[in-house]
């Protein structure tokens, strides 16, 4: 196959490029570097199956040659990033998804949309099955991301129903691992970086809110299976083992041997109180199940951040 991956220089997009290339496919990566970085795909430059195009996907997308797949991953994903970039976030979820669908339609390609557990908002059903419609504040600060993704799902289904485009929608739950920016503001990267630097661990609120953390290799495997499946309806991919934010902080402190103290900071507005994927569908339809528990995933992730913090160029860039 020959596939286009938007957001290729980001955390997840770069791992997806690796997976598709490892399976023997050709990959065109596209990114405008708004939150990603060339370093994430530097190892692919010169690979005969890989091509990179620097482009903002909210503008008309042109890709030469045939395409079998479009994996639309371009979008700021960290709350810190999308709160700093509210309009580009709304645009990439709406206009960017429209352009990606138009390209998929023109090429006869299958489109996979990277959606999110944020479509469930601050959920009143727990854990969250795909049939839950969510509880989102459209005009709150997080609405720029949540509603862009909800629109993206709606237009994806419309292209499927009206134009017959083959589509897949993955609802991704909190995923972590190497190639996250040390400064991107998400909880796993923040806590590891703070612990390694001996700085206070920034717990927002009382730390009783929960998340369910998926290691990147598990997520990529679920996405690869979904892309190759017949499943059109949205599909949760995430690790269903749930932790409080305080438990995560304690685990990171223990695993890094850090003496950092815990600092309580205000809870951001509309921060979901709980989040846990119901992965019954992924288990039965894709035969997928996460393999990497949180402690093992952190063991693989901490050395990456140690390396980043040792590199003055990286520190200057990202922190
Ligand atoms: P990331 O910020 O590391 O990567 C996003 C990439 O998209 C970056 O390289 C960025 O430069 C690029 N991008 C953004 N706007 C663009 C535009 N207009 N044109 C071209 N490129 C653009 O984030 P990530 O964690 O890798 O997330 C990737 C995708 O997965 C996003 O769509 C996100 O919503 C989704 N997602 C991620 C998670 C997670 O836990 N990591 C959870 C739910 C959903
Ligand atoms: N969080 C925290 N300290 C941080 C960053 C995040 O306590 O330094 C909390 C945040 O309030 C949320 C959870 O950790 O309850 C996960 O936040 P993240 O930004 O990783 O992603 P979200 O799931 O909110 O999109």
Identify the domain boundary among 222, 237, 252: 237
Q: Is 132 considered catalytic here? A: no
pLDDT tier at 317 (50, 70, 90 boundaries)?
low
- Does 221 lie in the same domain as 95? yes
Task: Report residue 6 as tokens.
Answer: 């938007």
Strands (E) across 19-103 are located at: 26-31, 50-54, 69-72
Task: Report if residue 91 sits inside a domain.
Answer: yes
- Does 134 lie in the same domain as 49? yes
pLDDT tier at 319 (50, 70, 90 boundaries)?
very low
- Does 139 lie in the same domain as 254? no
Q: What is the pLDDT of residue 318?
A: 52
Query: Would the CB of 149 count as within 6 Å of ligand 2?
Result: no
Task: Report residue 90 as tokens.
Answer: 């709304």
Residue 70 is part of which domain span?
Answer: 2-175+213-237
Task: Report if residue 187 sits inside a domain.
Answer: yes
Ligand 2: which residue has its CA nearest to atom 14?
A: 187
Number of neighbours of residue 265 by Cβ within 10 angstroms: 10
Query: Would the CB of 174 count as within 6 Å of ligand 2?
Result: yes
- Mean pLDDT confidence for 278-296: 98
Task: Report if residue 286 sits inside a domain.
Answer: no
SS3 7: coil
Task: Report residue 167 as tokens.
Answer: 């589509």
- Mean pLDDT confidence for 301-308: 96
Q: How far is CA 89 from the centre of its chain?
A: 14
Q: What is the CATH number of the domain that holds 94?
A: 3.40.50.720
Strands (E) across 96-189 are located at: 110-116, 167-172, 175-176
- Does 198 lie in the same domain as 95? no
**Position of tokens 């090429």?**
107
Number of domains in the chain: 2
- Mean pLDDT confidence for 178-195: 96
Query: Would the CB of 10 count as within 6 Å of ligand 1?
Result: yes
pTM of the complete model: 0.97
Answer yes or no: are the C-beta atoms of 118 and 60 closer than 8 Å: no
- Does 147 lie in the same domain as 72? yes
- Does 120 lie in the same domain as 14? yes
Choose the catalytic residue: 82, 120, 145, 159.
Answer: 145
Q: What is the pLDDT of residue 315?
A: 57
Task: Report if residue 109 sits inside a domain.
Answer: yes
- Does 150 lie in the same domain as 263? no
Task: Report if residue 309 sits inside a domain.
Answer: yes
pLDDT at 311 over 90: no
pLDDT tier at 215 (50, 70, 90 boundaries)?
very high
Cα angle at 145 between 144 and 148, to 5 degrees?
Answer: 85
Instruction: Specify the ligand 2 atom closest to the Cα of 190.
Output: 8
Task: Report if residue 282 sits inside a domain.
Answer: no
Query: Would the CB of 249 count as within 6 Å of ligand 2?
Result: no
In whole angstroms, give the CA distance from residue 38 to residue 9: 6
Answer yes or no: are the C-beta atoms of 88 and 56 closer than 8 Å: no
- Mean pLDDT confidence for 93-119: 98
Task: Report if residue 34 sits inside a domain.
Answer: yes
- Does 263 lie in the same domain as 123? no
Task: Report if residue 39 sits inside a domain.
Answer: yes
Chain mean pLDDT for the chain: 96
């Amino acid at each position: 196959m020959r596939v286009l991956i938007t957001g290729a220089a980001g955390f997840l997009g770069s791992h997806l490029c690796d997976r598709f290339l490892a399976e023997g496919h050709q990959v065109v990566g596209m990114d405008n570097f708004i939150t990603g970085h060339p370093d994430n795909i530097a190892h692919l430059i010169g690979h005969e199956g890989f091509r990179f195009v620097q482009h903002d996907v909210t503008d008309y997308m042109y890709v030469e040659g045939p395409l079998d797949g479009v994996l639309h991953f371009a979008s700021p994903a960290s709350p810190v990033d999308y709160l700093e970039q509210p309009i580009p976030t709304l645009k990439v979820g709406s206009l960017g998804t429209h352009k990606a669908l138009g390209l998929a339609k023109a090429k006869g390609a299958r489109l996979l949309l990277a959606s999110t557990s944020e479509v469930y908002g601050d959920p009143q059903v727990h854990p969250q099955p795909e049939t839950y419609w969510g509880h989102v504040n459209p005009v709150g600060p997080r609405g720029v991301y949540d509603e862009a993704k909800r629109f993206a799902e709606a237009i994806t289904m419309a292209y499927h129903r009206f134009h017959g485009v083959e589509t897949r929608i993955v609802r991704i739950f909190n995923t972590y691992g190497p190639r996250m920016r040390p400064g991107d503001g998400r909880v796993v990267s923040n806590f590891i970086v703070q612990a390694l630097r001996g700085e206070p661990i920034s717990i927002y609120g009382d730390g009783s809110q929960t998340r369910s953390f998926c290691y990147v290799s598990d997520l990529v495997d679920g996405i690869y299976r979904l892309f190759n499946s017949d499943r059109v309806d949205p599909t949760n991919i995430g690790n269903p083992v749930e932790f409080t934010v305080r438990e995560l902080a304690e685990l990171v402190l223990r695993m890094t041997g850090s003496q950092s103290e815990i600092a309580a900071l205000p809870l951001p507005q509309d921060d979901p109180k709980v989040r846990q994927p119901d992965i019954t569908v992924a288990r039965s339809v894709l035969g997928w199940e996460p393999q990497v528990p949180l402690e093992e995933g952190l063991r693989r992730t901490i050395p990456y951040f140690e390396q980043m913090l040792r590199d003055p160029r990286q520190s200057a860039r990202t922190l």
